[in-house]
Amino acid sequence: MRSLAPRFQALARGTHAGALAVLARARARRGAAAGIQEPKVPVVTISEPIPEDSTPLAPVIPLHGAPVIVDAPAEPSIVTSGTAHLTEEILANQTTEEKSGAKGSSLLNMVRKAVRSNERAVKSALGKQQLWQLPPTNLLRATVHTEIQVNREEVNANARLLQEKLKVFRVEGDVKEVKVGPVVTMYEFKPSAGVKVNTIANLADDLALALSAESVRIVAPIPGRDVVGIEVPNKNRQAVGLKEIIGADLFRSPKYQIPIAIGKDILGAPFVADLRSMPHLLVAGATGSGKSVFVNALVVSLLYRFTPDELKLILVDPKQLELAPYSDIPHLLLPVVTDPKKASLAIRWAVEEMERRYRMIAKTGMRDADGYNEKLRKIGPDAMRELLSKGEELPVGEAESMPKLVIIIDELADLMMTARQDVENNICRLAQKARAAGIHLVLATQRPSVDVVTGLIKANLPTRISFRLTSKNDSRTIFDTMGAERLVGKGDMLFMPPGDSRLLRLHGAYVGEDEVEGIAGFWREQGRPEFREEILADPEDELAGFEGADGEILDSRFGEALDVAYALGAVSTSLLQRKLALGYTRAARIMDMMEAKGVVGPGQGSKPRPVVGPRPQI
């Protein structure tokens, strides 16, 4: 069995693409029986380069080694989870002892079932690991692609009007170039020598009147250029669909670790940002500006790129409407949070989780969560547990991978009204330190006033997006400059990238409610979420207790812990965490109380403690 076991262990870790290929062929046979023709599924191994014409939608390498089926746009599904020849090698090279031995025969039967049977057999052979499939792009609505119609006469007439109007205000110069985009047209105006740029910037309303435009935004000057940009909205806007951006090569580029499909720039080119490099995002926008659609596009981008093993979400939606479609998707750590007090508790837990992750990363000698996960892949969970524990009991979740954690808060103002000090302090702590721990914040608000977007929050979230705002003051609150009040709405936005004060004008991609429902339903069909109830444990409840028979103060859940201990005959801190949905600190404190009461003996490293005494009177 020695020569076979390591190979089967490799299969159980999800490195066996052959099993998945057979699964795909089984599906094809079922389809053929029903008269449906399906394309043959190619198998690509990790060790081989993936051809450019079959690049998967997301170059996913599972954190646990769990297999992932990746659906590329307009291409057959490509399995990227292991070697295709492993099963054939196992069956061909088994020793005589393995063929004749009972254990070997049983083990080989499991392999054969995993390879030759259907999806249920594959999942059984892989144990707890889940076969996740990323959503296909056909769940998104295709946008009708039409060429941007350039009315040269209208463009030239506007250019002449601009020059004439500017001359009225003694601003001499020429329109050097015109760039027509899907939503706005930019006129590049080069002022003559001696003309002050500020003079041009103050003429936006006069130019809008001259051109009969809804609004005009002036970029004075265009960074790195000797011209001033005058942006005029098009009379006929071109639609920007999310499918265009997610299906673009840019979204699949490996340089983006957490890609967010934002939309298109003013010239119509797809625009994708990396949440990993931001690493947190502040979003503002008045009602009807497109803010909520953008938040949905952001969530959908994450769901198109990451499996539940790689990404966890905490969604906060005080309005109870915007994020409700994502209820019960397997990525969630909690049901969609609608109560501001519970949201405050979730943010507090995120700070504790950040500190816990940092302790684990430090013990392994790595620099961030990605390094920790890579080390876990190399040495395996058993060796990682030994490295972290050093003979002591580990809390639940230790020695496991660190999935990316994205916390999305749809309305920050409600939280600031409920628990301003706690929310502000915890948000700032996360913004300052959480990047290396793989935790990211997305904060959205309709009302970017100084009492909501405080100086501390703004200083710690340098990456910001604003849709149309109602006043210049709101624009200054977000960007320290005007401009957002002149946007045209419906996805028109200004983007401040990390480490750069320049504002980029972008047009957000649209995703409809039916598309969101379809993608969320696609994930719900694959699995259910594993909620972490201890996240919402109130520290005030933890401190609440009662006086025992001996006069000491006992935890309010001490009786429940005794029930668990005497029912099972042995108990550990991690067991109490799981059974009672407690945090590690509280569960450890209850264990100390049980030891003091003579219920259990002293700790024995990572082993559960047997019950050694009678049940105490409490």
- Give the pLDDT confidence score for residue 80 in this predicted structure: 34
- Give the pLDDT confidence score for residue 391 in this predicted structure: 52
- Give the pLDDT confidence score for residue 617 in this predicted structure: 81
CB atoms within 10 A of CB 247: 21
Rounded Cα distance between 423 and 429, Å, is 10
3-class DSSP assignment, residue 261: strand
Tokens of 214: 């809804």
Q: In this structure, what are the phi and psi dihedrals at residue 366, rounded to the nearest 5 degrees?
A: -90, 175
- Give the pLDDT confidence score for residue 601 in this predicted structure: 85
3-class DSSP assignment, residue 471: coil
Place of tokens 């081989």: 48
Task: Decide: 384 and 376 in contact? Cβ < 8 Å.
Answer: yes
Q: 221 preceded by cis ω (within 30°)?
A: yes
Cβ neighbours of residue 532 closer than 8 Å, sequence gap 6 or more: 333, 334, 581
**What are the percentages of helix, strand and coil residues in the chain, rounded to 5?**
45, 15, 40
Cβ neighbours of residue 458 closer than 8 Å, sequence gap 6 or more: 282, 464, 477, 478
Domains and CATH numbers, the chain: 5-134 (no CATH), 152-233 (3.30.980.40), 242-524 (3.40.50.300), 537-610 (1.10.10.10)
Q: Calculate ∠ Cα 522-528-534, nearest 5°.
A: 140
- Give the pLDDT confidence score for residue 90 in this predicted structure: 38
Which portions of the chain are predicted below pLDDT 70?
Answer: 1-130, 144-150, 390-399, 538-551, 605-606
Rounded Cα distance between 400 and 381, Å, is 7
Q: Calculate ∠ Cα 459-465-467, nearest 5°.
A: 135
Q: In the beta sheet, which residues pair with residue 265?
A: 506
- Give the pLDDT confidence score for residue 417 in this predicted structure: 86
DSSP secondary-structure letter at 16? Answer: B
CB atoms within 10 A of CB 202: 13
Q: In 468-557, which residue ranges form alpha helices assigned H by DSSP? A: 472-479, 513-524, 539-543
- pTM here is 0.71
How far are the Cα atoms of 186, 188, 193, 445, 532 from residue 172, in angstroms, in the given order?
18, 14, 8, 41, 65
Please name the amino acid found at residue 56: P
Residues 569-586 pLDDT 10s: 888 888 888 888 777 778
Q: Calculate ∠ Cα 71-280-306, nearest 5°.
A: 15
Three-state SS letters, 412-443: HHHHHHHHHHHHHHHHHHHHHHCCCCCEEEEE
Query: Which is nearest to 549 in space by CA: 612, 613, 594, 616?
Result: 616
CB atoms within 10 A of CB 383: 13
Mean pLDDT of the chain: 78
CA 572 to chain centre: 33
Task: Decide: 468 and 492 in contact? Cβ < 8 Å.
Answer: yes
Rounded Cα distance between 397 and 148, Å, is 53
